[in-house]
Amino acid sequence: MSVATFDARVIAAFGRHLLVREASGRSLKARPFGRGLGAVCGDEVRCRNDPHHGEVHVLEVLPRRTALYRSNARGGGEAVLANLTRLLVIIAPLPPPDPFVADRYLAAAESAGIAATPVLNKSELGIDAALRTQLEVYATAGYEYLTVSAATGEGIDALLATCAGQVAALVGQSGVGKSSLVHQLAPGAEAEVGSLMRDEEGRHTTTVSRLYELAGGGQLIDSPGVRDFAPAIDRLDPRHLGFIEIARLAASCRFLDCRHMREPGCAVRQAVEVGLMDPRRYESYRRLRRLAEELTARW
């Protein structure tokens, strides 16, 4: 007996508990059929109704157009979100921003071919000199940043325009306001998915990424907050690790395989020395480069 298959989109993933949305718009609980089948939020998957248990089985993850990868505990890369076209890296005056986390998300996006936009939320709290500098540094590097407030609604229209027709994911430290922004951008979405995604004790799970439909077309993914983010090293472009200003400068380095650390004739280090590249961004690059070397040395 052959059982018809159908394609669906993973709209939430909590370990092996998946929520998929089929073409009709219906959301169904599903689980991967077979070990080693790792589906993440945003994946397109081929499914089958298991006639015996009334379950939906995910048989296959369809080829990903893009994916955001992080390093797992063993130093290997694992996909966390799939098929993104835009990464919104959310920062805020509170909790105290860690610019290295934002830089690492930006680097991972660049290396994955995903457009990235830094977004400052909670703008109504005021932007101090340090934060203003961080934003200007992004602008100089080549990022167009947005300033918004989920609390007052400031900048929400511009953010919505940035997300139109995209598969956009919000990432960033815990507490920066990702879920609040999703609420503003896709009102009513939370209630729809919330009832379907509960853990074994029946509580709503808060540690999953969730995909919502935008009224004007496109999708938005809310992701759990993080304390740190380590991109998958082997997914980063070895020439610049995803730092867009270094990608531009590297063309002028003396050596093609310059790592921009201690090499003679390094245009990147020179740019830092004369104030053409931000020293903090460069420090961020150096930390990531050292992390890359530690992970490669270990394996």
Ligand X SMILES: Nc1nc2c(ncn2[C@@H]2O[C@H](COP(=O)(O)OP(=O)(O)O)[C@@H](O)[C@H]2O)c(=O)[nH]1
Chain residues binding ligand X by CB under 6 A are 121-122, 124-125, 149-151, 174-180, 225
Q: Which does 150 bind (CB under 5 to 8 A by kind): Mg ion, ligand X, Zn ion, none?
A: ligand X
Please state, in angstroms and rounded to a whole number, the distance separating the CA atoms of residues 167 and 211.
9
CA angle 212, 216, 220 (to 5 degrees): 25
| Binds Zn ion (CB under 5 A): choice among 70, 240, 260, 281 | 260
Pick 39 or 170: Cβ nearer ligand X: 170
> Does residue 266 touch Zn ion according to CB under 5 A?
yes
Pick 149 or 162: Cβ nearer ligand X: 149
What are residue 29's DSSP bridge partners?
A: 19
Q: Which does 177 bind (CB under 5 to 8 A by kind): Zn ion, Mg ion, ligand X, none?
A: ligand X
Torsion of Cα atoms, 200 then 201 then 203 then 208, to 10° = -30
> Does residue 162 touch Mg ion according to CB under 5 A?
no
Task: Please report how close the Cβ of residue 275 comes to Zn ion at its closest, in angstroms.
Answer: 17
> Does residue 258 touch Zn ion according to CB under 5 A?
yes
The CA R_g of the chain, rounded to the nearest whole Å, is 21
Task: Please report how close the Cβ of residue 224 comes to Mg ion at its closest, in angstroms.
Answer: 7
| Binds Zn ion (CB under 5 A): choice among 12, 230, 233, 253 | 253
Please state, in angstroms and rounded to a whole number, the distance separating the CA atoms of residues 297 and 276.
32
| Binds Zn ion (CB under 5 A): choice among 8, 20, 167, 268 | 268
Asked if residues 109 and 175 have their Cβ atoms less than 8 Å apart, the reply is no
What are residue 46's DSSP bridge partners?
A: 7, 60
Q: What b-and-e string marks burial along 254-286, b requiring 16 or more CB atoms within 10 Å of the CB?
A: eeeebbbeeeeebbbbebbeeeebbeebbebbe
Q: Which does 125 bind (CB under 5 to 8 A by kind): ligand X, Mg ion, Zn ion, none?
A: ligand X
| Binds Mg ion (CB under 5 A): choice among 71, 83, 173, 179 | 179
Pick 79 or 150: Cβ nearer ligand X: 150
- Say which DSSP state 62 is in: P
152 CB-contact burial (10 Å; exposed 0-12 / middle 13-18 / buried 19+): exposed
> Does residue 272 touch Zn ion according to CB under 5 A?
no
Pick 169 or 246: Cβ nearer ligand X: 169
Binding site for Zn ion (CB under 5 A): 253, 258, 260, 266, 268
Binding site for Mg ion (CB under 5 A): 178-179
